[in-house]
Structure 1
Protein backbone atom coordinates (compact mmCIF):
# COMPACT_ATOMS: atom_id res chain seq x y z
CA UNK A 1 0.00 0.00 0.00
CA UNK A 2 1.35 3.40 -0.96
CA UNK A 3 1.68 6.26 1.52
CA UNK A 4 -1.26 8.08 -0.08
CA UNK A 5 -3.44 4.96 0.11
CA UNK A 6 -2.48 4.45 3.73
CA UNK A 7 -3.32 8.07 4.59
CA UNK A 8 -6.70 7.74 2.83
CA UNK A 9 -7.52 4.53 4.76
CA UNK A 10 -6.75 6.20 8.08
CA UNK A 11 -8.90 9.19 7.10
CA UNK A 12 -11.85 6.93 6.33
CA UNK A 13 -11.48 5.16 9.69
CA UNK A 14 -11.37 8.50 11.50
CA UNK A 15 -14.56 9.61 9.73
CA UNK A 16 -16.29 6.33 10.55
CA UNK A 17 -15.31 6.73 14.20
CA UNK A 18 -16.66 10.30 14.25
CA UNK A 19 -20.00 9.17 12.86
CA UNK A 20 -20.30 6.26 15.30
CA UNK A 21 -19.45 8.55 18.22
CA UNK A 22 -22.06 11.05 17.04
CA UNK A 23 -24.69 8.30 16.90
CA UNK A 24 -23.66 7.04 20.33
CA UNK A 25 -24.27 10.50 21.78
CA UNK A 26 -27.97 10.33 20.82
CA UNK A 27 -30.68 8.08 22.20
CA UNK A 28 -32.65 7.76 18.98
CA UNK A 29 -32.24 8.11 15.24
CA UNK A 30 -30.23 11.07 13.94
CA UNK A 31 -30.80 12.86 10.66
CA UNK A 32 -28.05 12.81 8.07
CA UNK A 33 -27.91 16.61 8.04
CA UNK A 34 -27.33 16.68 11.80
CA UNK A 35 -24.66 13.97 11.62
CA UNK A 36 -22.83 15.88 8.90
CA UNK A 37 -22.95 19.05 10.98
CA UNK A 38 -21.68 17.50 14.23
CA UNK A 39 -18.85 15.63 12.49
CA UNK A 40 -17.83 18.44 10.12
CA UNK A 41 -18.29 16.11 7.16
CA UNK A 42 -19.88 16.95 3.83
CA UNK A 43 -23.37 15.36 3.68
CA UNK A 44 -22.42 13.27 0.65
CA UNK A 45 -19.33 11.94 2.45
CA UNK A 46 -21.31 11.14 5.59
CA UNK A 47 -24.00 9.47 3.49
CA UNK A 48 -21.50 7.27 1.68
CA UNK A 49 -19.79 6.13 4.88
CA UNK A 50 -23.09 5.50 6.68
CA UNK A 51 -24.28 3.35 3.79
CA UNK A 52 -21.09 1.28 4.03
CA UNK A 53 -21.58 0.91 7.78
CA UNK A 54 -25.19 -0.14 7.24
CA UNK A 55 -24.04 -2.98 4.97
CA UNK A 56 -22.22 -4.49 7.94
CA UNK A 57 -25.10 -3.77 10.36
CA UNK A 58 -22.97 -1.33 12.35
CA UNK A 59 -25.67 1.30 11.73
CA UNK A 60 -29.31 1.04 10.74
CA UNK A 61 -31.54 3.28 8.64
CA UNK A 62 -34.49 3.74 10.96
CA UNK A 63 -36.28 5.97 8.45
CA UNK A 64 -35.34 7.78 5.23
CA UNK A 65 -32.41 10.08 5.91
CA UNK A 66 -31.99 9.04 9.56
CA UNK A 67 -29.59 6.59 11.21
CA UNK A 68 -28.96 4.87 14.53
CA UNK A 69 -26.43 2.38 15.86
CA UNK A 70 -26.98 -1.15 14.55
CA UNK A 71 -27.39 -4.45 16.34
CA UNK A 72 -23.93 -5.53 15.27
CA UNK A 73 -22.54 -2.93 17.69
CA UNK A 74 -24.42 -4.63 20.52
CA UNK A 75 -23.13 -8.04 19.46
CA UNK A 76 -19.55 -6.79 19.34
CA UNK A 77 -19.95 -4.96 22.65
CA UNK A 78 -21.24 -8.09 24.38
CA UNK A 79 -18.36 -10.06 22.90
CA UNK A 80 -15.82 -7.58 24.25
CA UNK A 81 -17.56 -7.58 27.65
CA UNK A 82 -17.51 -11.38 27.85
CA UNK A 83 -13.76 -11.38 27.22
CA UNK A 84 -12.89 -8.66 29.73
CA UNK A 85 -10.85 -10.00 32.62
CA UNK A 86 -10.61 -7.69 35.65
CA UNK A 87 -7.19 -9.12 36.46
CA UNK A 88 -5.86 -8.40 32.99
CA UNK A 89 -7.36 -4.90 32.93
CA UNK A 90 -6.07 -4.06 36.41
CA UNK A 91 -2.48 -5.25 36.11
CA UNK A 92 -0.88 -2.20 34.48
CA UNK A 93 -2.68 0.37 36.71
CA UNK A 94 -1.69 -1.71 39.74
CA UNK A 95 1.96 -1.66 38.73
CA UNK A 96 1.77 2.09 38.23
CA UNK A 97 0.24 2.57 41.69
CA UNK A 98 2.95 0.37 43.19
CA UNK A 99 5.68 2.45 41.56
CA UNK A 100 4.07 5.60 42.96
CA UNK A 101 3.58 4.38 46.54
CA UNK A 102 6.35 1.81 46.84
CA UNK A 103 3.88 -0.45 48.67
CA UNK A 104 2.14 -3.74 47.94
CA UNK A 105 -0.97 -3.43 45.75
CA UNK A 106 -3.59 -6.20 45.92
CA UNK A 107 -6.49 -7.13 43.66
CA UNK A 108 -9.12 -9.25 45.39
CA UNK A 109 -12.55 -10.67 44.58
CA UNK A 110 -15.29 -12.08 46.76
CA UNK A 111 -16.10 -15.76 46.97
CA UNK A 112 -18.75 -16.54 49.54
CA UNK A 113 -17.68 -15.28 52.96
CA UNK A 114 -14.07 -14.65 51.97
CA UNK A 115 -11.97 -12.62 49.61
CA UNK A 116 -9.45 -14.23 47.29
CA UNK A 117 -6.26 -12.47 46.26
CA UNK A 118 -6.08 -12.77 42.47
CA UNK A 119 -3.22 -10.40 41.62
CA UNK A 120 -0.51 -8.42 43.38
CA UNK A 121 2.09 -5.80 42.50
CA UNK A 122 5.01 -5.61 44.93
CA UNK A 123 8.78 -5.55 45.26
CA UNK A 124 11.42 -6.03 47.93
CA UNK A 125 11.39 -2.30 48.66
CA UNK A 126 7.78 -2.58 49.83
CA UNK A 127 9.29 -3.24 53.24
CA UNK A 128 6.74 -5.91 54.12
CA UNK A 129 6.72 -9.66 53.72
CA UNK A 130 3.76 -10.82 51.63
CA UNK A 131 2.05 -13.40 53.83
CA UNK A 132 -0.92 -14.35 51.68
CA UNK A 133 0.04 -15.46 48.20
CA UNK A 134 -2.09 -15.07 45.11
CA UNK A 135 -4.94 -17.51 45.59
CA UNK A 136 -4.92 -16.96 49.33
CA UNK A 137 -8.13 -16.25 51.22
CA UNK A 138 -9.20 -14.07 54.13
CA UNK A 139 -12.49 -13.36 55.98
CA UNK A 140 -14.49 -10.43 54.66
CA UNK A 141 -14.81 -8.56 57.99
CA UNK A 142 -11.04 -8.58 58.64
CA UNK A 143 -9.95 -7.01 55.36
CA UNK A 144 -10.39 -3.64 53.72
CA UNK A 145 -11.62 -5.17 50.46
CA UNK A 146 -13.92 -7.55 52.33
CA UNK A 147 -15.52 -4.58 54.09
CA UNK A 148 -16.26 -3.03 50.69
CA UNK A 149 -18.27 -6.12 49.75
CA UNK A 150 -20.06 -6.24 53.10
CA UNK A 151 -20.87 -2.54 52.80
CA UNK A 152 -22.58 -3.32 49.49
CA UNK A 153 -24.87 -5.83 51.27
CA UNK A 154 -28.03 -4.88 53.12
CA UNK A 155 -28.38 -5.14 56.90
CA UNK A 156 -29.95 -8.60 56.87
CA UNK A 157 -27.15 -10.02 54.71
CA UNK A 158 -24.51 -8.56 57.04
CA UNK A 159 -26.17 -10.08 60.12
CA UNK A 160 -26.49 -13.43 58.37
CA UNK A 161 -22.78 -13.25 57.57
CA UNK A 162 -22.05 -12.55 61.23
CA UNK A 163 -24.14 -15.57 62.28
CA UNK A 164 -22.47 -17.88 59.77
CA UNK A 165 -18.91 -16.88 60.57
CA UNK A 166 -19.15 -15.90 64.23
CA UNK A 167 -16.96 -12.90 63.33
CA UNK A 168 -13.86 -14.74 64.47
CA UNK A 169 -10.89 -12.44 65.05
CA UNK A 170 -7.21 -12.80 64.14
CA UNK A 171 -5.69 -9.94 66.17
CA UNK A 172 -6.59 -7.72 69.12
CA UNK A 173 -7.83 -5.12 66.59
CA UNK A 174 -10.24 -7.47 64.80
CA UNK A 175 -13.91 -6.47 64.73
CA UNK A 176 -15.80 -9.33 66.38
CA UNK A 177 -19.04 -7.54 67.34
CA UNK A 178 -21.81 -7.19 64.77
CA UNK A 179 -22.93 -3.75 65.98
CA UNK A 180 -19.38 -2.43 65.70
CA UNK A 181 -19.10 -4.02 62.26
CA UNK A 182 -22.28 -2.31 61.09
CA UNK A 183 -20.94 1.06 62.28
CA UNK A 184 -17.71 0.38 60.43
CA UNK A 185 -19.61 -0.48 57.24
CA UNK A 186 -21.65 2.72 57.52
CA UNK A 187 -18.35 4.63 57.58
CA UNK A 188 -17.17 2.71 54.52
CA UNK A 189 -20.30 3.73 52.61
CA UNK A 190 -19.89 7.36 53.66
CA UNK A 191 -16.18 7.54 52.79
CA UNK A 192 -16.23 5.48 49.62
CA UNK A 193 -13.19 3.45 50.70
CA UNK A 194 -12.38 0.95 53.47
CA UNK A 195 -9.62 0.44 56.01
CA UNK A 196 -8.03 -2.53 57.75
CA UNK A 197 -6.29 -1.34 60.92
CA UNK A 198 -4.09 -4.36 61.69
CA UNK A 199 -7.24 -6.48 61.92
CA UNK A 200 -5.99 -9.39 59.81
CA UNK A 201 -2.27 -9.18 60.64
CA UNK A 202 -0.54 -7.16 63.34
CA UNK A 203 1.80 -4.59 61.83
CA UNK A 204 -0.09 -4.43 58.51
CA UNK A 205 -2.64 -1.77 57.61
CA UNK A 206 -4.61 -1.51 54.35
CA UNK A 207 -6.92 0.81 52.45
CA UNK A 208 -9.19 -0.39 49.65
CA UNK A 209 -11.40 1.06 46.93
CA UNK A 210 -14.01 -0.76 44.87
CA UNK A 211 -13.92 -1.75 41.20
CA UNK A 212 -17.26 -1.91 39.36
CA UNK A 213 -18.32 -3.38 36.04
CA UNK A 214 -20.54 -1.85 33.35
CA UNK A 215 -23.68 -2.64 35.36
CA UNK A 216 -22.36 -0.87 38.46
CA UNK A 217 -21.83 -4.14 40.32
CA UNK A 218 -18.89 -4.31 42.74
CA UNK A 219 -16.67 -7.02 41.22
CA UNK A 220 -13.30 -6.52 42.93
CA UNK A 221 -11.37 -4.45 45.41
CA UNK A 222 -8.04 -2.70 44.95
CA UNK A 223 -6.00 -2.26 48.12
CA UNK A 224 -2.71 -0.87 49.35
CA UNK A 225 -1.03 -2.89 52.11
CA UNK A 226 1.79 -1.32 54.11
CA UNK A 227 3.58 -1.61 57.44
CA UNK A 228 1.37 0.02 60.07
CA UNK A 229 3.59 3.07 60.47
CA UNK A 230 3.99 3.70 56.73
CA UNK A 231 0.45 3.80 55.39
CA UNK A 232 -0.32 7.35 54.24
CA UNK A 233 -3.73 8.93 53.84
CA UNK A 234 -2.22 10.88 50.94
CA UNK A 235 -2.48 7.63 48.94
CA UNK A 236 -6.27 7.43 49.24
CA UNK A 237 -6.83 9.77 46.29
CA UNK A 238 -4.33 7.82 44.15
CA UNK A 239 -6.00 4.56 45.13
CA UNK A 240 -9.55 5.67 44.38
CA UNK A 241 -8.45 7.24 41.10
CA UNK A 242 -6.76 3.98 40.03
CA UNK A 243 -9.82 1.92 41.00
CA UNK A 244 -12.00 4.30 38.99
CA UNK A 245 -9.66 3.93 35.99
CA UNK A 246 -9.99 0.14 36.11
CA UNK A 247 -13.77 0.43 36.50
CA UNK A 248 -13.97 2.63 33.39
CA UNK A 249 -11.97 0.01 31.48
CA UNK A 250 -14.67 -2.50 32.47
CA UNK A 251 -17.36 -0.19 31.12
CA UNK A 252 -18.52 1.49 34.33
CA UNK A 253 -19.88 5.00 33.90
CA UNK A 254 -20.99 7.14 36.84
CA UNK A 255 -24.64 8.12 36.54
CA UNK A 256 -25.37 5.66 33.72
Structure 2
Protein backbone atom coordinates (compact mmCIF):
# COMPACT_ATOMS: atom_id res chain seq x y z
CA UNK A 1 0.00 0.00 0.00
CA UNK A 2 1.05 3.60 -0.51
CA UNK A 3 1.26 6.05 2.38
CA UNK A 4 -2.07 7.73 3.20
CA UNK A 5 -2.80 11.38 2.43
CA UNK A 6 -2.37 14.00 5.12
CA UNK A 7 -4.10 12.79 8.26
CA UNK A 8 -6.67 15.06 9.83
CA UNK A 9 -6.09 13.95 13.40
CA UNK A 10 -4.84 16.70 15.70
CA UNK A 11 -1.59 16.07 17.56
CA UNK A 12 -3.52 16.64 20.80
CA UNK A 13 -2.26 15.77 24.25
CA UNK A 14 -0.75 12.36 24.90
CA UNK A 15 -3.04 9.78 26.42
CA UNK A 16 -2.52 9.05 30.08
CA UNK A 17 -0.18 6.20 30.83
CA UNK A 18 -2.05 2.99 31.48
CA UNK A 19 0.65 0.61 32.64
CA UNK A 20 2.69 -2.00 30.84
CA UNK A 21 -0.20 -3.70 29.07
CA UNK A 22 -1.41 -0.39 27.63
CA UNK A 23 2.11 0.40 26.41
CA UNK A 24 2.36 -2.97 24.69
CA UNK A 25 -1.00 -2.40 23.00
CA UNK A 26 0.21 0.96 21.69
CA UNK A 27 3.45 -0.56 20.41
CA UNK A 28 1.47 -3.29 18.65
CA UNK A 29 -0.79 -0.66 17.07
CA UNK A 30 2.24 1.22 15.73
CA UNK A 31 3.83 -1.97 14.38
CA UNK A 32 0.57 -2.94 12.65
CA UNK A 33 0.38 0.53 11.11
CA UNK A 34 3.92 0.27 9.73
CA UNK A 35 3.31 -3.27 8.46
CA UNK A 36 0.33 -2.08 6.42
CA UNK A 37 2.38 0.06 4.03
CA UNK A 38 5.29 -0.64 1.70
CA UNK A 39 6.87 2.83 1.95
CA UNK A 40 8.21 4.65 5.04
CA UNK A 41 5.56 6.69 6.86
CA UNK A 42 5.44 10.10 8.50
CA UNK A 43 4.67 10.45 12.18
CA UNK A 44 1.29 12.03 11.44
CA UNK A 45 0.30 9.07 9.23
CA UNK A 46 1.44 6.49 11.79
CA UNK A 47 -0.46 8.23 14.58
CA UNK A 48 -3.64 8.30 12.49
CA UNK A 49 -3.33 4.65 11.42
CA UNK A 50 -2.64 3.53 15.01
CA UNK A 51 -5.36 5.81 16.44
CA UNK A 52 -2.86 7.50 18.76
CA UNK A 53 -1.99 11.10 19.49
CA UNK A 54 1.20 12.19 17.75
CA UNK A 55 3.12 12.71 20.99
CA UNK A 56 2.26 9.18 22.11
CA UNK A 57 3.12 7.70 18.72
CA UNK A 58 6.45 9.56 18.74
CA UNK A 59 7.40 8.08 22.13
CA UNK A 60 6.43 4.58 21.01
CA UNK A 61 8.44 4.94 17.79
CA UNK A 62 11.52 6.09 19.70
CA UNK A 63 11.30 3.07 22.01
CA UNK A 64 10.84 0.69 19.08
CA UNK A 65 13.78 2.27 17.26
CA UNK A 66 16.00 1.95 20.35
CA UNK A 67 15.14 -1.76 20.44
CA UNK A 68 15.87 -2.33 16.76
CA UNK A 69 12.31 -2.89 15.53
CA UNK A 70 11.87 0.42 13.70
CA UNK A 71 14.32 2.43 11.63
CA UNK A 72 14.29 6.15 10.85
CA UNK A 73 14.73 7.42 7.31
CA UNK A 74 16.66 10.63 6.76
CA UNK A 75 15.83 14.02 8.21
CA UNK A 76 12.13 13.94 7.30
CA UNK A 77 11.29 11.75 10.29
CA UNK A 78 10.02 8.90 8.20
CA UNK A 79 9.72 5.49 9.85
CA UNK A 80 9.63 1.89 8.63
CA UNK A 81 9.95 -1.58 10.07
CA UNK A 82 13.54 -2.74 10.53
CA UNK A 83 15.11 -5.92 9.09
CA UNK A 84 14.86 -7.42 12.59
CA UNK A 85 11.10 -6.85 12.60
CA UNK A 86 10.97 -8.47 9.17
CA UNK A 87 12.79 -11.55 10.44
CA UNK A 88 10.40 -11.80 13.38
CA UNK A 89 7.51 -11.64 10.94
CA UNK A 90 9.06 -14.40 8.84
CA UNK A 91 9.46 -16.58 11.92
CA UNK A 92 5.81 -16.04 12.80
CA UNK A 93 4.62 -16.94 9.31
CA UNK A 94 6.83 -20.04 9.31
CA UNK A 95 5.27 -21.21 12.57
CA UNK A 96 1.74 -20.71 11.27
CA UNK A 97 2.52 -22.65 8.09
CA UNK A 98 4.26 -25.46 9.99
CA UNK A 99 1.23 -25.91 12.25
CA UNK A 100 -1.20 -25.96 9.32
CA UNK A 101 0.95 -28.49 7.43
CA UNK A 102 1.68 -30.95 10.24
CA UNK A 103 -1.00 -33.53 9.42
CA UNK A 104 -0.26 -33.33 5.69
CA UNK A 105 3.46 -33.82 6.24
CA UNK A 106 2.84 -36.97 8.26
CA UNK A 107 0.42 -38.29 5.64
CA UNK A 108 2.81 -37.60 2.76
CA UNK A 109 5.69 -39.40 4.47
CA UNK A 110 3.49 -42.45 5.10
CA UNK A 111 1.89 -42.57 1.65
CA UNK A 112 5.13 -41.97 -0.26
CA UNK A 113 7.51 -43.85 2.07
CA UNK A 114 9.97 -41.02 1.32
CA UNK A 115 10.80 -37.69 2.96
CA UNK A 116 8.22 -34.90 3.02
CA UNK A 117 9.63 -31.37 3.28
CA UNK A 118 8.08 -27.96 3.90
CA UNK A 119 9.55 -24.60 2.93
CA UNK A 120 8.43 -20.98 2.96
CA UNK A 121 9.56 -18.07 0.83
CA UNK A 122 11.62 -15.44 2.67
CA UNK A 123 12.56 -12.75 0.19
CA UNK A 124 14.82 -14.33 -2.42
CA UNK A 125 15.33 -17.52 -0.42
CA UNK A 126 13.50 -20.69 0.51
CA UNK A 127 13.58 -21.38 4.25
CA UNK A 128 13.14 -25.06 5.15
CA UNK A 129 10.95 -25.34 8.23
CA UNK A 130 9.83 -28.98 8.61
CA UNK A 131 10.41 -32.52 7.41
CA UNK A 132 8.98 -35.97 8.05
CA UNK A 133 10.88 -39.13 7.12
CA UNK A 134 9.23 -42.07 5.39
CA UNK A 135 10.00 -45.77 5.84
CA UNK A 136 12.12 -46.31 2.74
CA UNK A 137 15.61 -47.33 3.89
CA UNK A 138 17.43 -45.14 1.35
CA UNK A 139 17.23 -41.43 2.07
CA UNK A 140 18.79 -38.60 0.13
CA UNK A 141 20.63 -35.82 1.93
CA UNK A 142 18.23 -33.02 2.78
CA UNK A 143 18.67 -29.54 4.16
CA UNK A 144 18.23 -29.27 7.90
CA UNK A 145 15.39 -27.28 9.39
CA UNK A 146 16.30 -23.60 9.46
CA UNK A 147 18.60 -23.82 6.43
CA UNK A 148 18.08 -21.59 3.40
CA UNK A 149 18.60 -21.86 -0.34
CA UNK A 150 18.30 -19.26 -3.12
CA UNK A 151 14.99 -19.36 -4.97
CA UNK A 152 15.17 -22.04 -7.67
CA UNK A 153 17.91 -24.09 -5.98
CA UNK A 154 16.22 -27.32 -4.89
CA UNK A 155 12.76 -28.63 -5.64
CA UNK A 156 10.90 -26.64 -2.98
CA UNK A 157 12.80 -23.48 -3.91
CA UNK A 158 12.00 -24.12 -7.59
CA UNK A 159 8.27 -24.41 -6.81
CA UNK A 160 8.48 -21.10 -4.93
CA UNK A 161 10.24 -19.44 -7.87
CA UNK A 162 7.66 -20.78 -10.33
CA UNK A 163 4.83 -19.47 -8.13
CA UNK A 164 5.96 -15.89 -8.70
CA UNK A 165 4.61 -13.81 -11.59
CA UNK A 166 7.12 -13.99 -14.41
CA UNK A 167 8.31 -10.41 -13.95
CA UNK A 168 8.95 -10.97 -10.24
CA UNK A 169 10.65 -14.29 -10.95
CA UNK A 170 13.00 -12.59 -13.42
CA UNK A 171 13.86 -9.90 -10.87
CA UNK A 172 14.49 -12.56 -8.21
CA UNK A 173 16.83 -14.43 -10.55
CA UNK A 174 18.69 -11.18 -11.22
CA UNK A 175 19.38 -10.97 -7.49
CA UNK A 176 20.24 -14.63 -6.81
CA UNK A 177 22.30 -15.27 -9.96
CA UNK A 178 25.66 -14.57 -8.25
CA UNK A 179 24.88 -17.26 -5.64
CA UNK A 180 24.44 -19.91 -8.37
CA UNK A 181 28.22 -20.15 -8.71
CA UNK A 182 28.14 -22.45 -5.66
CA UNK A 183 26.07 -25.00 -7.60
CA UNK A 184 28.07 -26.20 -10.62
CA UNK A 185 25.17 -27.96 -12.37
CA UNK A 186 22.90 -24.92 -12.20
CA UNK A 187 22.65 -21.81 -14.34
CA UNK A 188 20.20 -18.98 -14.65
CA UNK A 189 19.01 -20.29 -18.01
CA UNK A 190 18.36 -23.74 -16.56
CA UNK A 191 16.35 -22.33 -13.66
CA UNK A 192 14.29 -20.17 -16.03
CA UNK A 193 13.46 -23.23 -18.16
CA UNK A 194 12.67 -25.43 -15.16
CA UNK A 195 10.46 -22.75 -13.60
CA UNK A 196 8.51 -22.44 -16.85
CA UNK A 197 8.08 -26.23 -16.99
CA UNK A 198 6.85 -26.17 -13.40
CA UNK A 199 4.24 -23.52 -14.26
CA UNK A 200 3.04 -25.62 -17.20
CA UNK A 201 2.90 -28.91 -15.25
CA UNK A 202 1.58 -27.45 -12.01
CA UNK A 203 4.48 -28.94 -10.03
CA UNK A 204 8.25 -28.67 -9.84
CA UNK A 205 10.53 -31.62 -10.59
CA UNK A 206 14.25 -31.90 -9.82
CA UNK A 207 16.47 -34.92 -10.50
CA UNK A 208 20.22 -35.17 -9.78
CA UNK A 209 20.77 -31.40 -9.97
CA UNK A 210 21.64 -30.73 -6.33
CA UNK A 211 22.20 -34.16 -4.78
CA UNK A 212 23.56 -36.96 -7.01
CA UNK A 213 21.06 -39.80 -7.03
CA UNK A 214 18.37 -37.65 -5.42
CA UNK A 215 15.28 -35.95 -6.75
CA UNK A 216 11.96 -34.53 -5.70
CA UNK A 217 8.54 -33.22 -6.65
CA UNK A 218 7.07 -30.05 -5.10
CA UNK A 219 3.88 -27.99 -5.25
CA UNK A 220 3.50 -24.39 -4.12
CA UNK A 221 1.12 -23.34 -1.35
CA UNK A 222 -0.19 -19.92 -2.37
CA UNK A 223 -1.70 -17.96 0.50
CA UNK A 224 -1.35 -14.23 -0.28
CA UNK A 225 -4.22 -13.52 2.15
CA UNK A 226 -1.94 -14.74 4.95
CA UNK A 227 1.10 -12.96 3.53
CA UNK A 228 3.08 -16.06 2.59
CA UNK A 229 3.94 -18.58 -0.10
CA UNK A 230 5.15 -22.04 0.85
CA UNK A 231 6.00 -25.28 -0.88
CA UNK A 232 5.47 -28.90 0.10
CA UNK A 233 7.65 -31.57 -1.48
CA UNK A 234 8.56 -35.25 -1.46
CA UNK A 235 12.22 -36.11 -1.98
CA UNK A 236 13.94 -39.46 -2.39
CA UNK A 237 16.12 -41.57 -4.69
CA UNK A 238 15.87 -40.33 -8.27
CA UNK A 239 14.54 -43.58 -9.72
CA UNK A 240 11.72 -43.72 -7.15
CA UNK A 241 10.78 -40.08 -7.77
CA UNK A 242 10.76 -40.30 -11.58
CA UNK A 243 8.77 -43.55 -11.59
CA UNK A 244 6.02 -41.94 -9.48
CA UNK A 245 6.11 -38.32 -10.64
CA UNK A 246 2.43 -38.10 -11.62
CA UNK A 247 1.29 -39.94 -8.48
CA UNK A 248 3.39 -37.78 -6.18
CA UNK A 249 2.32 -34.57 -7.93
CA UNK A 250 -1.37 -35.43 -7.49
CA UNK A 251 -0.78 -36.29 -3.84
CA UNK A 252 1.09 -33.03 -3.24
CA UNK A 253 -1.56 -30.90 -4.97
CA UNK A 254 -4.25 -32.39 -2.75
CA UNK A 255 -2.24 -31.80 0.42
CA UNK A 256 -1.23 -28.28 -0.65
CA UNK A 257 -4.92 -27.39 -0.99
CA UNK A 258 -5.65 -28.83 2.47
CA UNK A 259 -2.72 -26.93 3.99
CA UNK A 260 -3.98 -23.70 2.45
CA UNK A 261 -7.47 -24.29 3.87
CA UNK A 262 -6.13 -24.99 7.37
CA UNK A 263 -3.75 -22.05 7.17
CA UNK A 264 -6.49 -19.58 6.28
CA UNK A 265 -8.83 -21.04 8.89
CA UNK A 266 -6.14 -20.72 11.57
CA UNK A 267 -5.63 -17.08 10.54
CA UNK A 268 -9.37 -16.37 10.57
CA UNK A 269 -9.38 -15.77 6.81
CA UNK A 270 -11.79 -17.00 4.17
CA UNK A 271 -10.62 -19.29 1.38
CA UNK A 272 -11.21 -17.32 -1.82
CA UNK A 273 -10.29 -20.17 -4.19
TM-score normalised according to structure 1 size: 0.59
Q: Give, in angstroms, the shift of residue 182 of structure 1.
A: 2.6
Query: In structure 1, what is the Cα distance between the partners aligned to 2:160 and 2:142?
Result: 22
Aligned match for 1:122, one of 128, 133, 137: 133
Partner residue in 2 for 1:212: 222
Question: How many Å apart are 1:170 and its aligned residue?
Answer: 2.2
Q: Aligned-pair RMSD on alpha carbons?
A: 2.8
Residues 195-206 of structure 1 correspond to what in structure 2 (within 5 A)?
A: 195-206=205-216
> Which of structures 1 and 2 has the bigger CA Rg?
1
| Paired residues of 2:140 and 2:236 also in contact (CA < 8 A) | no
Three-state SS of the structure 1 residue aligned to 2:210 is coil
1:91 aligns with 2:102: yes
Equivalence for 1:250: 263
Matched, 1:235 2:235: no
Number of the residue aligned with 1:189:
199
SS in 1 for 2:143: coil
CA drift of 1:94 comes to 0.8
Residue pair 1:102, 1:125 contacting (<8 A) in 2 also: yes
Matched residue of 2:240: which SS? coil
Structure 1 unaligned regions, length at least 5: 1-81
Match of 2:160 among 146, 149, 155: 149
Is the contact made by 1:108 and 1:117 (CA closer than 8 Å) also made in structure 2?
A: yes
Question: Runs of 4+ in structure 1 displaced over 4 angstroms?
Answer: 252-256
**C-alpha displacement at 1:215, in angstroms?**
2.4
Query: Which runs of 5 or more structure 2 residues have no equivalent in the other structure?
Result: 1-92
Tell me the CA shift for residue 222 of structure 1.
Answer: 0.2
Q: What is the total number of aligned residue pairs between the two structures?
A: 173
CA displacement at 1:146 relative to structure 2: 1.4
1:240, distance to aligned residue in structure 2 (A): 1.0
Listed one character per residue, the Cα deviations across residues 113-162 of structure 1 (whole Å, up to 9, x for unaligned) are 22111010004635114442111122222222212222233344333333
Separation (CA, whole Å) in 1 of partners of 2:97 and 2:225: 14
Residues 41-89 of structure 1: per-residue CA shift (max 9 Å, x gap): xxxxxxxxxxxxxxxxxxxxxxxxxxxxxxxxxxxxxxxxx9x811011
Deviates more, 1:238-247 or 1:84-93: 84-93
Counterpart in the other structure of 1:40 = none
Distance 1:149 1:130, change over 3 A: same
Give the Cα–Cα distance (whole angstroms) in 2 for the partners of residues 214 and 154 of structure 1.
13
**Residues 145-203 of structure 1: per-residue CA shift (max 9 Å, x gap):** 2122222333443333333222335253x2x033x433322222222111122222111
